[in-house]
Amino acid sequence: MSDIQSILSIAKRTLETESKAIHNLIGQLDEQFAHAVQHIFESKGRVVVSGVGKSAIIASKIVATLNSTGTPAIFMHAADAIHGDLGTIQENDIVICLSKSGNTPEIKALLPLIKIAKNKLVGITGNMDSILAKQADFVLNTFVEKEACPNNLAPTTSTSAQMAMGDALAICLLELRGFSSSDFAKYHPGGSLGKKLYLRVADIVVNNQKPEVDVNSSVKEVIVEISEKMLGVTAVMKQGKVVGIVTDGDIRRMLSKHDNISDLTAKDIMTSNPKSIEVDMLAIKALNLLQEKGISQLLAFDNGSYAGVVHIHNLINEGIL
């Protein structure tokens, strides 16, 4: 079995090599990057991102990032482009080509076709003397000194640099567009990320039962209500208004203090001024409040009226936590 320290040493060396290469990109940025961003921002078309091999995989990731941050983009494999997929590129589209060498056969064949169609071309390459660099309208330099691969062959550092440059493009465009968290939610409606941005307390409370007892209800009635509604809590009401809360923790504490509970009512064991939240608040706000107070439930209110309960398990089930 390989030595643990040797494995960790290789991993650290790889990350150090790649982090250094990405840091070096800062010094390689110039006005062409800014002009490329401005041109994409002002364009009425989409961004078509293309490449071959590992660069094609990075191109797909850049497309996904652009689309999710407000810049319409589409992937086109360079090899497929010269065999029928060139129609992907429309009149106002801007094409981004990724190639470490800038001289791959597929890229060489694609470049004159882009020029004929008069689409603007952004080249992302590590070779500033390449055909791609010379023919592109804007060149983004992703030169790296070496790959993390000990043979300096497998695309590792170079693809990390390409991805980082794509992220820089996307974030510049995001900020120019004033892309907000609410905009982000529109593009990410599924999964925990989207839910943190759009799911509200009302969306959760509506699916829960609404536990409540009268202030004069017996302890047995309180226990039954908590058990039946399965939220570990019940609101305590007086003349239609919430005056307190009883949790399963309150029940346990009561049993440890009293031998005879037959004469006790909800009023005797409730906690006044319970923690609460409005139904129009984001669910993530409810989570923050629960964690801040170290509790498991919040009463939810709709313009001052008791609407139900949000439980931390609801947030876990929704993927918020």
Any alpha helices (H) in the chain, and if so which ranges?
Answer: 4-28, 31-42, 54-68, 78-81, 105-117, 131-135, 157-176, 181-187, 191-198, 201-205, 219-229, 248-257, 266-269, 283-293, 312-317
Q: How far is CA 35 from CA 47, 50, 166, 227, in A?
A: 15, 20, 15, 64
Contact 32, 138 (CB under 8 A): yes
User: Alpha-carbon torsion 133, 76, 62, 117, what sign?
Assistant: positive
Q: Are strands 233-238 and 241-247 parallel, antiparallel or unpaired?
A: antiparallel
Residue 207: Cβ within 10 Å count: 9
Question: What is the rounded distance in angstroms from the CA atom of residue 97 to the CA atom of residue 202?
Answer: 46
Binding residues for Zn(2+) are 77
Dihedral over Cα of 261, 262, 266, 268: its sign: negative
Q: List the binding residues.
A: 77
Among 140, 176, 171, 110, CA closest to 36: 140
Which letter does DSSP use for residue 293 in this model?
Answer: H
Q: DSSP assignment, residue 95?
A: E
